[in-house]
Amino acid sequence: MMESVVHHHLRPKKKFPHIWCPGCGHGIILSALVRALEKTGRERDEVVLVSGIGCSSRAPTYVDFSSLHGTHGRALAFATGIKLGNPRLTVIVLTGDGDALAIGGNHFIHACRRNIDITTVVFNNNIYGMTGGQYSPTMPTGAFAATAPYGMIEQDFDVCNLSVATGASFVARGAVTNPVALERYIRQGILTKGFSVIDVVEPCPPIYGFYNKTGTALDMMRSIKERTISIKKAESLSPEELKGKVLTGVFIDREYREYTEEYNKVIEEAKRSIQDEEPL
Amino acid sequence: MKNKTGEKYLSIKRNWCKRCGYCVEFCPKNVFDIGEDGYPVVARLEDCNECRICVYICPDLAVIAEPEVEEKIKDR
């Protein structure tokens, strides 16, 4: 049962194979997410998957949890509303790197700052795949894209350091080459009371691979496997050895003041103060 | 997961598979081979140690490890 749990959650009328390209990592993340949800024991009706626009945001349409497909970059804004409206729900945001950090950049940092109990999974393939290969804020400096034919000259965002700095409760980075660890990080994120960010390194073979001549999907997966290194292992390495490496693992795990609880306290206090007032 | 007679089980759902080759690459026991048409085939099921990496790593959800699941999605 546990291995094929995603097959038990597929929407009955949805057509398969799915729309994602051959070798795209989104399917791996989706099945890891469903396994993680199953392990946390959350009821199906108490889970809401919220997404914005992009390849990654098609993920909730394949599984039979409650879902909301919002506007570009605003998945976190919709999710904040859902969570405040019914704090009992487990709200999970599935978003791409462009969706979360460019169009929805402000929503992202302020959701981290508020520390609202939402889990965000960032499908990080460094490019806008659906619209034809524009560069995204996580594209590495020097890489090529449709809008960067001479190479990317901007500095890229580090999703994890950004989330830690802006106040998220739980921050981890996984890679699709290690789906077991990825599932564990997502599960920890869901169980954390507070804002959780899981950044997932994955390949985009037909678009990113095409512009950067990185070879086949398999070559890209091998390169991710070589590039990623766990935080523990990285501690014993010199800065030269760490050049070009991507750290994976749990960056921070801290529970503190959570937004919906604080908000409920304000509601209670407001109710009391209204009752105490003398009638007009 | 073993089937009713206690044997190991693995199959590829060919109409979902997009021939990325991840199952062949990531299997620690080298259970899969790439067939002539590019689709993976379960060649050495007896070597399988049931770690299920192939099921987890398949982006197209096309590696099936249980006969019940195979039956459930056979018309899709």
Element (H, E) at A163: helix A159-166
Is B52's Cβ below 8 Å from some Cβ in A? yes
Q: How far is CA B32 from the centre of its chain?
A: 8
**Which among A4, A25, A218 has CB closest to B64?**
A4
pLDDT of residue A60: 94
Confidence (pTM) = 0.94
pLDDT for B36-69, tens place per residue? 999 999 999 999 998 999 999 999 999 999 888 8
Residues of chain A with Cβ-Cβ distance to B15 below 8 Å are 16-17
Supply the CATH classification number for the domain A2-276. 3.40.50.970
B56 lies within 8 A of chain A by CB: yes
Q: Quick check: B69 and A179 CB within 8 A?
A: no
Note the CATH architecture for domain B11-72: 2-Layer Sandwich (3.30)
Helix (H, G, I), strand (E, B) or coil at A280: coil
Cα→Cα distances A180→A197, A267, B1, B37, Å: 17, 41, 17, 30
d(CA A52, CA A70): 5
- B54 min Cα distance to partner chain A (Å): 10
Q: What is the pLDDT of residue B7?
A: 80
Which residues in chain A have their CB less than 8 angstroms from residue B60's CB?
17-18, 20, 22, 27
Low-confidence ranges of chain A (pLDDT < 70): 1-2, 279-280
- Torsions phi, psi of A236, nearest 5? -90, 0
> What is d(CA A194, CA A198) in angstroms, rounded to the nearest whole number?
13
- Residues of A engaging B, defined by a Cβ cutoff of 8 Å: 1, 3-4, 6-8, 10, 15-18, 20-28, 31-32, 35, 176-177, 179-180, 183, 216-218, 221-222
Nearest to A52 by CA among A101, A95, A112, A81: A95
Share of chain A above pLDDT 70, in %: 98
How far is it, in rounded angstroms, from Cα B76 to Cα B44? 27
- Alpha carbon A142 to its chain centroid, in Å, reads 24
CA distance B39 to chain A (A): 12
Complex prediction ipTM: 0.92
Predicted pLDDT at A280:
66
Q: What is the DSSP letter of B8?
A: B
Residue of B nearest to A15 (CA): B76
Tokens found for residue A73: 């970059």
Q: Which residue of chain B is at minimal alpha-carbon distance from A202?
A: B59
Q: What's the confidence (pLDDT) of residue B2? A: 53
Candidates B41, B1, B45, B44; CA nearest to B17 is B41
The DSSP result for A138-153, as a single string, is TSPTT--BTTBTT---
Task: Calculate the alpha carbon distances from A172 to A9, A13, A79, A164, A168 in Å.
Answer: 25, 34, 20, 10, 10
Query: B18, A26: Cβ pair inside 8 Å?
Result: no
Alpha carbon of A14 to those of A64, A101, A241: distances in Å? 10, 29, 46
Domain-wise residue ranges, chain B: 11-72
pLDDT at B70: 86
